[in-house]
Amino acid sequence: MHINSSTARQLDIELPSPIQAFTPDWAGAEHVSIHIKRDDLIHPVVSGNKWRKLSAVFSDTTSLPREIVSFGGGYSNHLHALGYCCNKLKIPMTALVRGDYTKQPTPMLNDLTRWGVSIQYVTKLEYNRRHEDDYLNALRQTYPAATIIPEGGSQQLALSGVQQILCETPQEFDIVISPVASGATLAGLITALRPEQRAIGIAVLKGVGYLESLVEQFLPEDDRRDWCIEHHFHHGGYAKSSESLTAFIQTTQAQYQLPLEPVYSGKLFYALKTLIADNYFTKGTKILVLHTGGLQSARNALCSNR
Ligand SMILES: *Cc1c(COP(=O)(O)O)cnc(C)c1O
């Protein structure tokens, strides 16, 4: 339903995203088949999975939100995608940003300013209250006309847009693999699986147990579908990197013309390569890799002090 929404057309979002066969010369890769779902290509500005998660918010052109308030860090792909959409659709938006970047705004924040988004810097203490009822009620009083969208765009409503990714994937696959941070993308994929298929999330932050609980909050009770999260590939934590990750990204981009950034897609492909070398997948497994986009954050050469 969202796939051909006129809002997506108005924003020049190109769906369905392409699917590419990927045949790297990695150890063990000859035993599996890999396809990449290139959601990084749906739009030059609006990041792949962030549009998918927002698409339901904008699906009904006759009742678009009158105003939007949302949350994120100084490099947030979500605020970036949302800010662009609000600018194009002429919806007033307020971004509550964690920390104070007044003196040194990031490229992402400069884009928001250019797009007319009102930026409010909030302390980390206040930001931590973003899911609390009291806090949200106070926000509703301050912004009575606004639709409040959670961090990362991750809410129940976000799942239907993510499910579309698998609906537009005619290729047979056994496993779909994607990065996971706030959980809604993986949850959307899980809920679109067929019984014999499996979803694997690659944790981009330290969160054994925590990330699983984030995903589970979006799943129907007693959901029996097969999924797991692999926790060995965060390289020190959210937006942290390692020498091996940096080197991997450089080689892989150059060798396969595949754009990667260190926060999400770099960790995803690094994990894929390692898991294949470790014989994690049985012979003949058909793997679908979701490239979730997020390349705007690669404009920040230094990304270790977020
Ligand atoms: C936000 C983001 C993710 C993580 O998605 P969640 O739904 O928060 O788990 C993955 N990749 C990119 C590029 C992102 O911007």
Which numbered atom of ligand 1 lies nearest the CA of 261? 13
Which residue, judged by its Cα, is nearest atom 1 of ligand 1? Answer: 152
Mean pLDDT of 163-176: 93
Q: How close is the Cα of 79 to the center of ligand 1, in Å?
A: 12
| Ligand 1 touching residue 82 (CB < 6 A) | no
Q: DSSP for the chain?
A: -GGG-HHHHHTT---SPPEEEE----TTGGGSEEEEEEGGGS-SSS-HHHHHHHTTTTS-GGG--S-EEEEE-TT-HHHHHHHHHHHHHT--EEEEEES--SSS--HHHHHHHHTTPEEEEE-HHHHTTTT-HHHHHHHHHHSTTPEEE-GGG-SGGGHHHHHHHHHT--S--SEEEEEESSSHHHHHHHTT--TT-EEEEEESSS-TTHHHHHHHTTSPTT---EEEEE-S-STTSTT---HHHHHHHHHHHHHH-----TTTHHHHHHHHHHHHHTT-SPTT-EEEEEE---GGGGG-S--S--
User: Residue 1 pLDDT > 60, yes or no?
Assistant: no
pLDDT at site 303: 45
Q: How close is the Cα of 21 to the center of ligand 1, in Å?
A: 22
Which tens digit of pLDDT belongs to each residue from 32-51? 999 999 999 999 999 899 99
Whole-prediction pTM value? 0.95
User: Residue 4 pLDDT > 60, yes or no?
Assistant: no
User: Residue 304 pLDDT > 80, yes or no?
Assistant: no
Say what percent of the chain tops pLDDT 90: 90
pLDDT at site 300: 59
pLDDT at site 122: 98
User: Residue 306 pLDDT > 80, yes or no?
Assistant: no
User: Residue 62 pLDDT > 90, yes or no?
Assistant: no
pLDDT at site 5: 73
Mean pLDDT of 7-14: 91
Q: Which two tokens stand for residue 238?
A: 């959210």
Pairing of strands 198-203, 175-180: parallel
pLDDT at site 63: 86
For residue 24, the one-letter residue type is P
User: Residue 3 pLDDT > 90, yes or no?
Assistant: no
| Ligand 1 touching residue 294 (CB < 6 A) | yes
| Ligand 1 touching residue 292 (CB < 6 A) | yes
For residue 108, the one-letter residue type is M
Query: 44 versus 299: which is more confidently predicted?
Result: 44
Query: 297 versus 58: which is more confidently predicted?
Result: 58
pLDDT at site 302: 47
Which tens digit of pLDDT belongs to each residue from 260-280? 999 999 999 999 999 999 999
pLDDT at site 241: 96
Cα–Cα distance for residue pair 109/98, rounded to 1 Å = 12
Cα–Cα distance for residue pair 291/268, rounded to 1 Å = 8
Q: How close is the Cα of 48 to the center of ligand 1, in Å?
A: 9
Query: 4 versus 99: which is more confidently predicted?
Result: 99
| Ligand 1 touching residue 215 (CB < 6 A) | no
| Ligand 1 touching residue 183 (CB < 6 A) | yes
Which tens digit of pLDDT belongs to each residue from 180-209? 999 999 999 999 999 999 999 999 999 999
